[in-house]
DNA sequence: CAAAATTCCTGACTGC
DNA sequence: TGCAGTCAGGAATTTT
């Protein structure tokens, strides 16, 4: 599923391809994808003619900045962006938005339609509910400590929710907690300094490694990069979707439970 | 059939 | 009592 490392991979691939280029036309084919009030009109009317300045990211949101509005893309659970250099390939099913760039087009394809695309003058208020970016916005363990101690909530809902730290989904949440040696149900305001440091290092390391490996593609292949290639991080998962398998660190059986409404995988011996 | 995933919404509960 | 913070649960969707 597209979480921070997958979105960052798309961002890095996309920016050099479209920066400085003019968007000639926008086709909005799926109403649910442009579900925000006025989204369809803004995309179709204001974006054509604009030149792309940069492609940024906050959490799981992609921000395509132009000389006028910002185009915001969220991949949801099954959204994919595909770059087609000559625009000639037939469009696959569930193609909901197409940005045409003279030769070449960028397609937003999303079977389950949880994803979203809209254009706005200023992305800040739209993304105001998000916490700091998990990859770029937590500069020190003390910054993380301040976030954790401001709340009194269990680590899993805190990391999975986007309002404190933005970007982690179920996979990287469980992997980060395993790497930190912390249980999902530990309360955020009970961590010692040493534990906060472990969590900080774990989050940076897991996300960094996952970005380097170009993200995780599971069996359902919901995530593919701009060119349709899978990511390579899945084989590095230590706990996610490994219920019953021996822990790679200690040999104990990986357990699965439910927390924050999601399957939660952890090692009962390594994590406390 | 159930399960997976993300975000948003609502209802209920907790602590102050 | 009221309020803010927090969590569970449900909806939307399609594929395996």
What average pLDDT does range A234-240 have in this prediction?
92
- Taking only the tens place, the pLDDT of each residue in A113-132 is 999 999 998 888 888 889 99
Distance A36 CA to C12 C1' (A): 14
Distance A239 CA to B2 C1' (A): 22
Per-residue pLDDT band for A221 (boundaries 50, 70, 90) equals low
Mean pLDDT for chain A overall: 92
Q: Nearest residue to nucleotide C4 when comparing alpha carbons to its C1'?
A: A151
Q: What is the pLDDT of residue A202?
A: 95
Q: What is the pLDDT of residue A217?
A: 87
What average pLDDT does range A137-154 have in this prediction?
92
Q: What is the pLDDT of residue A122?
A: 86
Distance A85 CA to B9 C1' (A): 41
Residues 44-63 of A with CB under 7 A from strand B: 59-60
What is the model's pTM? Answer: 0.95
pLDDT at residue A78 above 70?
Answer: yes
pLDDT at residue A14 above 90?
Answer: yes
A264 CB and strand B closer than 7 A: no
Which residue pairs from A224-229 have beta carbons closer than 8 angstroms and sit at least 24 positions apart in sequence?
A224/A80, A224/A82, A225/A9, A225/A10, A225/A13, A226/A10, A226/A13, A226/A14, A226/A17, A226/A81, A226/A82, A226/A83, A227/A13, A227/A82, A227/A83, A228/A82
Distance A170 CA to B6 C1' (A): 10
**Catalytic residue annotation of A:** 2-3, 60, 262
What average pLDDT does range A148-157 have in this prediction?
90
Q: Which residues touch strand C (CB under 7 A)?
A: A 32, 77, 93-94, 111-114, 151-154, 157-158, 161, 219-220, 259-261
Mapping DSSP onto H, E and C, the string for A107-155 reads EEECCCCCCEEEEECCHHHHCCCCCEECCCCCCCHHHHHHHHHHCCCEH
Q: What is the pLDDT of residue A176?
A: 95
Residues 85-144 of A with CB under 7 A from strand B: 112, 114, 129
pLDDT at residue A72 above 70?
Answer: yes
What average pLDDT does range A36-40 have in this prediction?
86
A187 CB and strand B closer than 7 A: no
pLDDT at residue A103 above 90?
Answer: no
Contact A85, A104 (CB under 8 A): yes
Q: Which nucleotides of B are covered by protein (CB under 7 A)?
A: 3-8
pLDDT at residue A173 above 80?
Answer: yes
The torsion angles phi and psi of A137, rounded to 5 degrees, stand at -110, 5
Distance A178 CA to C4 C1' (A): 31
Residue A50: C-alpha distances to residues A6, A33, A46, A66 (Å): 26, 21, 8, 6
What average pLDDT does range A216-234 have in this prediction?
86
pLDDT at residue A1 above 80?
Answer: no
A171 CB and strand B closer than 7 A: yes
């Amino acid at each position: 599923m597209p979480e921070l490392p997958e979105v960052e991979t798309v961002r890095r691939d996309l920016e050099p391809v479209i920066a400085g280029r003019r968007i000639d036309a926008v086709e909005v084919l799926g109403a649910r994808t442009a579900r925000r009030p006025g989204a369809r009109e803004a995309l179709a009317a204001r974006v054509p003619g604009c030149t792309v300045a940069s492609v940024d990211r906050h959490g799981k949101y992609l921000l395509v900045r132009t000389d006028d509005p910002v185009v915001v893309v969220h991949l949801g659970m099954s959204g994919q962006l595909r770059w087609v250099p000559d625009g000639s390939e037939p469009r696959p099913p569930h193609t909901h938005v197409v940005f045409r760039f003279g030769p070449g087009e960028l397609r937003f394809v999303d079977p389950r339609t949880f994803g979203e695309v809209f254009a706005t003058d200023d992305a800040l208020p739209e993304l105001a509910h998000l916490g700091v970016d998990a990859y770029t916005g937590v500069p020190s363990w003390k910054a993380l400590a301040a976030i954790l101690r401001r709340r009194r909530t269990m680590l899993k809902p805190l990391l999975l929710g986007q309002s404190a730290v933005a970007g982690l989904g179920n996979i990287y949440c469980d992997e980060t907690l395993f790497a930190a040696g912390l249980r999902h149900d530990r309360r955020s305001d009970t961590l010692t300094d040493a534990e906060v440091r472990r969590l900080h290092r774990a989050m940076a390391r897991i996300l960094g490694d996952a970005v380097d490996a170009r993200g995780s593609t599971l069996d359902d292949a919901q995530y593919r990069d701009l060119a349709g290639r899978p990511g390579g991080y899945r084989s590095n998962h230590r706990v996610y979707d490994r219920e019953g398998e021996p822990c790679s660190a200690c040999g104990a059986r990986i357990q699965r439970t439910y927390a924050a409404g999601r399957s939660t995988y952890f090692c009962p011996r390594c994590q406390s």
